[in-house]
């Protein structure tokens, strides 16, 4: 083998090495791009799961709030009825007591 053949082989090996490096670089860029896309998809999935969870929690808490509000309203109605009934039953007694207190009250001149 002469010097020209050796130089040609070296140049050819260099060209092949550069092609492999370029191919590896393109593959690396593709992998980086793919990794970014997967990260973005994972982030979106995480946010979707979090949103679903928040909606479920909000629904549960709203239902609980409605239930407690209903119970409190029922209690208020019962208490109001009891007060109204007591007032109604004792109103005549109260009027008579007030009347006696006023009529029998000493005059302060």
Task: Name the 3-class secondary structure at 49.
Answer: helix
The Cα–Cα gap between 39 and 106 comes to 91
Q: Residue 105's pLDDT band (boundaries 50, 70, 90)?
A: low
pLDDT in tens, 12-60: 999 999 999 999 999 999 999 999 999 999 999 999 999 999 999 999 9
Lowest mean pLDDT among 55-59, 61-65, 82-86: 82-86
Residue 31 tokens, joined:
């992998």
pTM above threshold 0.75 = no
């Amino acid at each position: 083998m002469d010097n020209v053949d050796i130089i040609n082989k070296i140049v050819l090996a260099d060209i092949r090495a550069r092609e492999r490096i370029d191919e590896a670089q393109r593959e690396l860029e593709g992998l980086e791009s793919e990794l970014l896309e997967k990260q973005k998809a994972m982030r979106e999935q995480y946010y979707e799961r979090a949103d679903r969870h928040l909606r479920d929690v909000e629904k549960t808490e709203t239902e609980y709030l409605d239930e407690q509000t209903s119970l409190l309203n029922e209690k208020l109605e019962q208490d109001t009825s009891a007060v109204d009934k007591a007032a109604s039953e004792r109103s005549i007694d109260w009027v008579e007591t007030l009347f006696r207190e006023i009529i029998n009250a000493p005059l302060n001149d």
